Amino acid sequence: MSQQLTYEEFESTFTEDRPESAWPDALRALWFAGKDEWDASHDIAQEMHTNLGSWIHAYLHRVEGDKFNAGYWYRMAGKPYCNLTLKEELQQITEFVLKN
């Protein structure tokens, strides 16, 4: 990314039809998650074979209400099961991606 976004700036892009094509997969997956486009977000996250991909994957299964599957993906990400609200966790993951 050529410019460092804040979470609020990222969130303001939810009015767009598509995420920025130059964004990394993690940010695009989170963008789709923020737009409630679960399938599009999941398609990206499940192809991310990293701890970050597993974290996003865990979040998505939490959104889905599948605690068992979410728990597996949190373990794969090396993270404890999240007790934040879904909105708070989406912000937490997004801010992590934006800073790294």
Provide the residue ranges of all domains of the chain, joining segments of one domain with +: 7-99
Could you read off the pLDDT of 3-14 as tens digits, one per residue?
A: 688 999 999 999
Could you read off the pLDDT of 27-73 as tens digits, one per residue?
A: 999 999 999 999 999 999 999 999 999 999 999 999 999 999 999 99
Q: Is the dihedral of CA 72, 62, 96, 26 positive or negative?
A: positive
How far apart (Å, rounded) are the C-alpha atoms in residues 62 and 46? 14
Q: What is the pLDDT of residue 3?
A: 60
How far apart (Å, rounded) are the C-alpha atoms in residues 93 and 96? 5
* pTM for this entry: 0.93
Alpha carbons within 13 angstroms on the beta-carbon side of residue 42 total: 13
